[in-house]
Amino acid sequence: MRLFKKVLAVSVASMCALSLAACGGGSKTAETTAAASSESKDESKAAESVSEAVAATGKDVKDIKVGISIYKFDDNFMTLYRNELVRYLTEDIGIPKENVMVQDGKNDQAEQTNQINNFIATKVDVMILNLVQSSSAPTVTDLAKEAGIPVVYINREPDEAEESRWAADGISATYVGADARQSGTFQGEEIAELENKGDINGDGTVKYIMIQGDPENIDAQYRTEYSVKALTEKSGLKAEQLLIQRGDWDQAKGQQIAQDALTQYGNDIEVIFCNNDAMALGALQAINAAGRKVGEDIYIVGVDALAEAVQNVSEGKMTGTVFNDFISQAQAAAKAAVSFAGGEKVDTKIPVDYVKVTKDNAAEILELSLIHISEPTRPY
């Protein structure tokens, strides 16, 4: 048990060091960095109390069983998240690999509900769920509650009414995630902070196309709304939407949408907003194929900070992205799960910040994500 306590505290400290490196980039002030450093002390304290709570129940970390279901394995961002989640639970916290069950929801809610029922039948201590349909949260929460199994929801946020119900009824459920309004705002600011504020032809209106993620994730809606809101508010310019289309977070769809739009609207397109980097990387292929030049006659922003996107940002081939901090999210979700398994109460919402990524801090962010991506691939 003592070993568990030590391992958790050390790993949390190193995670904070990593987060600070990320936050050291252009978009955070000295004040917030100082706040983050005092947060890091709190974090280690939190880790201590997590392990103490597990110890107090007489439960050994080696006995904790976790059931994880990811909405689909075939998603670039959720693959990074999943690998970090399993790595942290097994290597840093010390839960045996065979006690961490990870299922592919295959983008099918019926399939995922079966997996959840199996987790319940196997009597896992806690579930970490990335729902296919966030609207299924009330049903899934009730299933878990009935079985006395706590749930940590990740990535796709259940609605407010559902979250309030957990608090009001004392249900052991929580949501760990970032507020997508912030990522949208950062995208809009990245355009508004350009010298010409995204208005390439100088007519006072920024013409854009919006490539959206699957609306099952509220991130798609918020990023769409808040990117344009921040752009107009910060730049004082008008914005005109030439096209809005669903690319479902998918690179190939992003490419097709951008290709068609570039054919239809040509030089009228000044900005391409993408709800995530996978779609932005697809759109970038279309931009290059059309002979357009990012930073000169078009701008493009994404979200996630996938290594390839950050590399493009650092080389000026993409205007910007936003770090969707899968490392902090995965580690916070794992800690919440272990707290629940130890019988502790957990807040109904655990927020994680986004970080703006522009040419100024792209190298630092890249270094941070490569530390994780370059680790040997594990058979999770």
Alpha-carbon distances of 120 from 67, 115, 145, 147, 167, rounded to whole Å: 9, 9, 10, 7, 22
Rounded least distance, CB 209 to ligand BGC, Å: 18
Using the rule CB under 6 A, give the single segment among 48-56, 74-82, 157-165, 337-345 that binds ligand BGC.
74-82
- Asked if 324 touches ligand BGC (CB under 6 A), the answer is yes
Residue of the chain from 19, 172, 217, 312 that contacts ligand BGC (CB under 6 A): 217
Nearest Cα residue to 369 out of 321, 334, 297, 337: 321
Using the rule CB under 6 A, give the single segment among 24-32, 54-62, 212-220, 264-272 that binds ligand BGC.
212-220
Rounded least distance, CB 302 to ligand BGC, Å: 9
Residues 303-322 binding ligand BGC (CB under 6 A) are 303-304
Residues 135-164 binding ligand BGC (CB under 6 A) are 155-156
Rounded least distance, CB 86 to ligand BGC, Å: 17
**Pair of tokens at residue 291:** 């002979």
Q: Are 131 and 71 in contact (CB under 8 A)?
A: yes
DSSP for 240-300, written as a single string: EEEEEEE-TT-HHHHHHHHHHHHHHHGGG--EEEESSHHHHHHHHHHHHHTT--BTTTBEE
- The interface mask with ligand BGC, positions 231-260, x = CB under 6 A, is ------------------x-----------
Number of residues binding to ligand BGC, judged by CB under 6 A: 14
Rounded least distance, CB 246 to ligand BGC, Å: 12
Using the rule CB under 6 A, give the single segment among 9-17, 72-80, 137-145, 332-340 that binds ligand BGC.
72-80
Q: Are 4 and 89 in contact (CB under 8 A)?
A: no
- Asked if 75 touches ligand BGC (CB under 6 A), the answer is yes
Q: Find all residues with CB under 8 Å of 114, minimum gap 6, and list them.
A: none
Q: Are 227 and 184 in contact (CB under 8 A)?
A: yes
Q: How many CB atoms lie within 10 A of CB 4?
A: 19
Q: With respect to ligand BGC, which residue has the nearer C-beta, 155 or 187?
A: 155
Which stretch of DSSP H or E encloses residue 68? strand 66-70
At residue 218, what is the residue type?
A: I
Rounded least distance, CB 95 to ligand BGC, Å: 25
Q: With respect to ligand BGC, which residue has the nearer C-beta, 95 or 279?
A: 279
Using the rule CB under 6 A, give the single segment among 73-81, 87-95, 116-124, 186-194 that binds ligand BGC.
73-81
Rounded least distance, CB 180 to ligand BGC, Å: 7
| Dist. CA 175–CA 56, nearest whole Å | 25
Q: Find all residues with CB under 8 Å of 314, minimum gap 6, and list them.
A: 359, 362, 363, 366
- Asked if 323 touches ligand BGC (CB under 6 A), the answer is no
**Pair of tokens at residue 302:** 């994404």
- Asked if 219 touches ligand BGC (CB under 6 A), the answer is yes
- Asked if 338 touches ligand BGC (CB under 6 A), the answer is no
Q: With respect to ligand BGC, which residue has the nearer C-beta, 131 or 237?
A: 131
Using the rule CB under 6 A, give the single segment among 15-23, 75-83, 113-121, 349-357 that binds ligand BGC.
75-83
Q: With respect to ligand BGC, which residue has the nearer C-beta, 278 or 318?
A: 278
Residue entry with tokens 């930073």: 295
- The one-character DSSP state at 91 is I
- Asked if 51 touches ligand BGC (CB under 6 A), the answer is no
| Dist. CA 208–CA 101, nearest whole Å | 43
Using DSSP, state whether 106 is helix, strand or coil.
coil
Which residues bind to ligand BGC, rule: CB under 6 A?
75, 77-78, 155-156, 213, 217, 219, 249, 276, 278, 303-304, 324
